[in-house]
Structure 1
Amino acid sequence: MRRSATVGTGAVLACALVLGGCSAKPGDSSDTLQVVANPVAATAPVSPQPAAAPAGTVFATQGEVTAVAADPATGTLAVAVPDAVLLYRADDPAAAPVRVPVAARPERLRVSGGVLLATLPAAGQVARISLPGGQVSTLAVAGEPAGALAEGDRTLVAVRDRKAVDVFTGDRLTRTIQGQLYSADDVVQADGNTVVLDRLRTALFSVDVDGGTMAEGLRAGDGATNAVADSFGRVLVVDTRAGALLAFSTGPLLLRQRYPVPGGAYGLAYDAQRALAWVTLTERNEVVGFDVRGGEPVEKYRFPTVRQPDSVTVEERSGRVVVGSAAGEGVQVIQP
């Protein structure tokens, strides 16, 4: 039996449920993207006690790991804990890190535009951290910033509670883009196209940043949680509730692939050097690497992890995979 599904353009147009330009609210029965009457965002399934020892090397951190990111340009590994971002040398993660205090719990880390962006929803801030030194400047955001990326001299911020993408030029807010969203949980760029992830609505929306409008939307499974751009102009999305890895082209926004990934798929990272998508399985305490160059993902690696592997990143120079434990069991480094 064939385990994967590749979706063509015709099938997408027939069944993907594209949303038009009208605004919608939770509970609106006329909304074609509505999944249930009172939607709730999917979260990471709770992990059991590990059945196997974690692969690779594990080093301790103080408290749970909320996010991880790697910068191949400076050889820096960034690890977010509830009150700080820890900057390690990627080639020597056992060495003492540079500790960068932050105003609130970091939700997401992303290296973008040569800096590390840490979103701090409870503080209404995006911390811009230089690498490898750790100097910090903050961007004040009205609301709860959930994801951010740098685009030249602009910073795009997904603001969850305001259901918006804020556009900053330097430190100045120059545009707010709203419409159609229930929740703005991350913003991703693939092949020059900007897409926002809506976890509550479990959907993706194209964003016309220059035009200041929210464009077409597509359902992204039954419980989309995390998204990354790949090397092929696509956005990869984890559907945690249905247990699947989805691939969307972005110009236009179309669902191209849906591949089953059972076991509590949640954390997601992409290795552009090797065209590998890494997905953590929190119900199994595993991380799986998929080659995504072909017409469907092909599993290449599978490793046991620390408990509650909610976050994952890749150090692209070496190919090392870094997994963070949201249960306080440290950071795991795996050399495939």
Structure 2
Amino acid sequence: MLGVTTHRNNVGGPQVRRLTSVARIAIPLAGALVLSACSATGQDSSDSLQVVANPVAAKPAASPARTAPPAGQVIAMPGVSAIATDAQSHTLVVALGQPPSVRVYDLGALGSPKATVALPGPAESLTASGGEAIASVPGKGVLTRISLPGGQAKAEPVAGQPAEGVPDGANTLVAVRDRKAVEVLAGGKVTKTITGQLYSADGVVKTDSGAVVLDRLRTAVFSVDVQAGTMDEGLRAGDGAANAVADSFGRVLVTDARAGALLAFSTGPLILRQRYPVPGGPYGLAYDHRRNLAWVTLTGRNEVVGFDVRGGEPVEKYRFPTVRQPDSVGVDEQSGRVIVGSAAGEGTQVIQP
């Protein structure tokens, strides 16, 4: 659906803005989500959400050789797989692929790590808050909890491939990829398993109205009622949903790596509000709640872009050259610094906008 779409400005009243392509593709749970004619891969060949017959999760676009030096400071380290920051402990947490480990840095003194934590395998995702980081190691079926800033670690086994773990009060929500589920952990034990209509559970975002799970295979997002233990409405998320974060306005932002876009979904109910074109292979995504900036890495251009998302559509505020293959990004909300990790071994980059 192209043209003029009426939607609500998150800092004021309703506005009318011309968006590039805004679609509301709600999936009725009793209708299109019923999997009847399954292909050899186990997916529904007639599913209105399925992009191709045999779906493959979106990957970051391969980066070309750099044409400009990276902005800011670059900290030498091998290939980075994930980045997170924790305001309470004032730390930067970086996951490395080889050797599989997590480095903990003081955000005020980034010269050398305060601690290095060995992992049983490469971490796919990192989340950090309240003095703790959670590293997800799907290849080994493990969540590793790391106390910050000291670096004491505790491994928690998870049945299947835990793709991401996020705090939810005293509990932890875990997206378990191969089991197509969101599990609720309390004290390291599973208290609830939520399933339904997923092809793959690749990420989970906590919002004020519940949670949203990212399905990269189906390139879709689904609303999760954690208290009721149900998987609720789902929406198509572009042609190659890659990463998702919550913003300050009750929305979930998603990068579309294949179609080149930044999507914004309101929650409760789940509705696609914006689809903003972002050429260059958008992939990594982080959000600065203090400044309402969404930071998006462009792996096809070796760039990171900062968008102000307070209004009816994103507004570009910053654009910087990065290290090669900038697959991951984080934000130090106290200073506003954006931190970019190179999956190609060019280090971690720290930029002060």
Q: TM-score range by the shorter chain?
A: over 0.9
CA spacing shift, 1:4–1:196, aligned 2, 3 Å: farther
Deviations 1:286-315 (A, max 9, x none): 000000000100000000000000000000
1:306 aligns to what? 323
CA spacing shift, 1:14–1:157, aligned 2, 3 Å: closer
Aligned-residue offset at 1:43: 0.2
CA spacing shift, 1:4–1:290, aligned 2, 3 Å: farther
1:222 aligned residue (205, 230, 239):
239
1:132 aligned residue (135, 149, 161):
149
Give the length in aligned residue pairs. 332
- CA distance in 2 between counterparts of 1:153 and 1:8 reads 35
Aligned-residue offset at 1:36: 1.1
- CA distance in 2 between counterparts of 1:273 and 1:14 reads 29
Aligned-residue offset at 1:13: 11
Deviates more, 1:210-219 or 1:27-36: 27-36
CA spacing shift, 1:314–1:235, aligned 2, 3 Å: same
1:182 aligns with 2:199: yes
2:67 aligned residue (22, 38, 51):
51
Aligned-residue offset at 1:211: 1.2
1:147 aligned residue (164, 178, 182):
164
1:20 aligns with 2:16: no
Runs of 4+ in 1 over 4 A off after TM superposition: 3-9, 11-15
Q: In the alignment, residue 37 of structure 1 is paired with which amino acid?
A: A
Deviates more, 1:12-21 or 1:199-208: 12-21
- CA distance in 1 between counterparts of 2:151 and 2:340 reads 21
Aligned-residue offset at 1:167: 1.0
Q: In the alignment, residue 84 of structure 2 is paired with which amino acid?
A: A
- CA distance in 2 between counterparts of 1:300 and 1:172 reads 44
SS of the equivalent of 2:212 reads strand
CA spacing shift, 1:54–1:250, aligned 2, 3 Å: same
1:102 aligns to what? 119
Deviations 1:195-235 (A, max 9, x none): 00000000000111111111000000000000000000000
Q: In the alignment, residue 75 of structure 2 is paired with which amino acid?
A: F
TM-score (norm 1): 0.94
1:85 aligns to what? 102
Alpha-carbon contact 2:286-2:329 (below 8 Å) kept: yes
- CA distance in 2 between counterparts of 1:152 and 1:20 reads 28
2:278 aligned residue (251, 258, 261):
261
1:320 aligns with 2:329: no
- CA distance in 1 between counterparts of 2:323 and 2:45 reads 42
> Any unmatched runs of 5+ in structure 2?
9-18
Q: In the alignment, residue 78 of structure 1 is paired with which amino acid?
A: V
Q: In the alignment, residue 38 of structure 1 is paired with which amino acid?
A: N
- CA distance in 2 between counterparts of 1:76 and 1:279 reads 21
**RMSD of Structure 2 on Structure 1 (CA):** 2.0
Alpha-carbon contact 1:5-1:257 (below 8 Å) kept: no
- CA distance in 1 between counterparts of 2:146 and 2:164 reads 15
1:244 aligns with 2:287: no
Q: In the alignment, residue 182 of structure 1 is paired with which amino acid?
A: Y
2:45 aligns to what? 29
Q: In the alignment, residue 74 of structure 1 is paired with which amino acid?
A: S
1:194 aligns with 2:204: no
Deviates more, 1:51-60 or 1:14-23: 14-23
- CA distance in 1 between counterparts of 2:23 and 2:90 reads 46
Aligned-residue offset at 1:174: 1.1
CA spacing shift, 1:330–1:4, aligned 2, 3 Å: farther
- CA distance in 2 between counterparts of 1:179 and 1:39 reads 18
Alpha-carbon contact 2:340-2:349 (below 8 Å) kept: yes
2:189 aligns to what? 172
CA spacing shift, 1:179–1:113, aligned 2, 3 Å: farther
TM-score (norm 2): 0.90
SS of the equivalent of 2:80 reads coil
- CA distance in 1 between counterparts of 2:22 and 2:245 reads 23
SS of the equivalent of 1:66 reads strand
Alpha-carbon contact 1:124-1:143 (below 8 Å) kept: yes
Deviates more, 1:205-214 or 1:238-247: 205-214
1:75 aligned residue (78, 85, 90):
90
Q: In the alignment, residue 157 of structure 1 is paired with which amino acid?
A: V
CA spacing shift, 1:304–1:234, aligned 2, 3 Å: same
- CA distance in 2 between counterparts of 1:138 and 1:128 reads 6
Alpha-carbon contact 1:230-1:236 (below 8 Å) kept: yes
Q: In the alignment, residue 311 of structure 1 is paired with which amino acid?
A: S
Alpha-carbon contact 1:43-1:240 (below 8 Å) kept: yes
Aligned-residue offset at 1:17: 4.1
Aligned-residue offset at 1:8: 4.3
CA spacing shift, 1:277–1:6, aligned 2, 3 Å: farther
> Any unmatched runs of 5+ in structure 1?
none
